[in-house]
Chain A
Amino acid sequence: MSPRVSGHGRTAARSRGPSCRAAWGAVGLALAWGGASCEVPNEASGVHGTPVHREVGAPRLALIDTEGRAFDLREETHGRVTLVFFGYTHCPDICPVHMATLSAAYSDVEPEVRDRIRVVFVSTDPERDTPQRLRAWLDGYHRSFVGARGALDEINGALAGLQLPGVAVIPSEHGEGAPNIGHPSAIVAFGPDGRARVRYPFGMRRADWLRDLPRLARER
């Protein structure tokens, strides 16, 4: 399992021990609550993620995209809403789920909304995430998603600037096999002005993205 080192990402619920009474009590509450979707947007902001109130801009981060072109995160996020996710393609849990829910909604929104929003995936495992592998992995979600790689120390500097935890390489159990990579579990949404607007923790569902993407596309 990919370690979740982000304090900003909601940690998915873990299994609890036997608690029959609590479970059945909760059934009553759940029934009373009804509703197929349990998610409610943040009341103050109207979005499902956590609004970023401090002035945090997109970091200057020199990357190379999957086509081999230079990709500066600050310049590339300017003038367009950009969702940035720091993860890796071998991630067993957070990355594929986060990307699947986002891409499912991204494919479903109006083309005008898609045109206004760019998704950038920055690899936190540049050794294993070759450009070809990164491109193929992202194409499995959406062909327009941008993949980029860079030096880990620079990526860690950018993460610190965004107040996200840095990348941690964690050896696998018993020291055999590939290591796990600890990385932030949040997707950060930057406005067209390059300022971070919302952090989307792990646990965002397709329906949540479907409501938030058009809202983000209206950002000025």
Chain B
Amino acid sequence: MQWWCVARTEAWSWQWQPLVGVWVVLAVLTVGYRRLRRSVEEEGGDVGPSWRPTAFGGGLFLLWVSLDWPLGPLGASYFASVHMAQYVAVGVAAPALLLIGLPDGAFRRIETRPRVLRILGALTHPLVAFSLFNGVMTVTHWPSVVEVLMRSQMGSFGLDVSWLVAGLVFWWPVVAPVPARTAFSPLAKIGYLALNAFLIRPPFAMMVFSADPIYRIYELAPPPAGDALDDQQLGGVIMKIGVAWVMFAGVVAVFLRWVRTEAAAAKGGGG
């Protein structure tokens, strides 16, 4: 029984393997969410529209599919392309869904805690969030870092947690209403997301343009199903297109919300 997936040197087997850490993390998030939502309801707070739990559940589902067997071990040991798909799910799409799924009342609670608000204000400043997100993405895909972290369960766990946390910080200024940032208008949010969709990051460039496989783990993974370099290049493309696709979905969501807000304001002003 394992806590988290780790790079292995054995040939791939379809024999199911339990990854206890993934279940524990998902259970903690599920129980935490239910408690939070119930307490907001009990306080008479705003839980938001009824689709919120579905969004949160979607985030949990993405985490489960990406980290548990078989995608977890396949991405940890055998295919760089699966590893990059996991990154898109765990580090980009799931954090957005988890944040969107939170009840409004949960954010309002933070307003009553000045210290938390101050820390969050600094950590989730768009410039900080942008730097952290891209910094974590670059560092955690650097070949020598991947080689070291993926060889131990705690290293692999730390890598996935860092993706998730960096993703939450990245999406916070776009999704969360607190701390209030009047300067970070919907147009600025669209620019923030679009910039991240187009940005060419070092890992993508290395994966796609390198003449040789850059990840030792995937190059020496048995059995080599196809060419390691092709798999790596596919991984680079999945990372680039996957991140861009999620960012554009964010752009569309921000734009639609902006239009709705403006329309409501105009209607209110006109009435």
Footprint of B on A, CB under 8 Å?
A: 1, 12-20, 22-24, 26-27, 29-31, 33-38, 92-94, 96-97, 100-101, 104, 202-203, 205-207, 210
Given contacts A12-B220, A18-B3, A93-B11, 12 further A-B contacts (CB under 8 A): A16-B152, A23-B148, A23-B152, A26-B148, A30-B145, A36-B144, A37-B143, A93-B9, A205-B213, A205-B216, A206-B213, A210-B212
Considering the complex, give the chain B residue whose CB is closest to the CB of A22.
B152
- A195–B216 Cα gap in the complex (Å)? 31
5 contacts between A and B (CB under 8 A): A23-B152, A34-B142, A36-B144, A92-B11, A205-B220
Task: Report chain B residues within 8 Å CB of A100.
Answer: 224, 227-228
Task: Report chain A residues within 8 Å CB of B220.
Answer: 12, 97, 101, 202-203, 205
Q: Which of B1-25 contact A (CB under 8 A)?
A: 3, 6-11
Footprint of A on B, CB under 8 Å?
A: 3, 6-11, 139, 142-145, 147-149, 151-155, 158, 206, 210, 212-214, 216, 219-224, 227-229
CB distance from B95 to the nearest CB of A (A): 22
Interchain CB contact under 8 A, B144 and A30 = yes
CB distance from A103 to the nearest CB of B (A): 10
- Which of B152, B212, B221, B227 has most A Cβ within 10 Å? B212
Q: A30-B142, A94-B222, A207-B212 are in contact. Are A17 and B152 (CB under 8 A)?
A: yes
Interchain CB contact under 8 A, A101 and B219 = yes
- A14–B151 Cα gap in the complex (Å)? 7
Task: Report chain B residues within 8 Å CB of A17.
Answer: 152-153
CB distance from A165 to the nearest CB of B (A): 19
Interchain CB contact under 8 A, B158 and A23 = yes
Interchain CB contact under 8 A, B145 and A27 = yes
Q: A17-B153, A30-B147, A36-B210 are in contact. Are A206 and B219 (CB under 8 A)?
A: yes
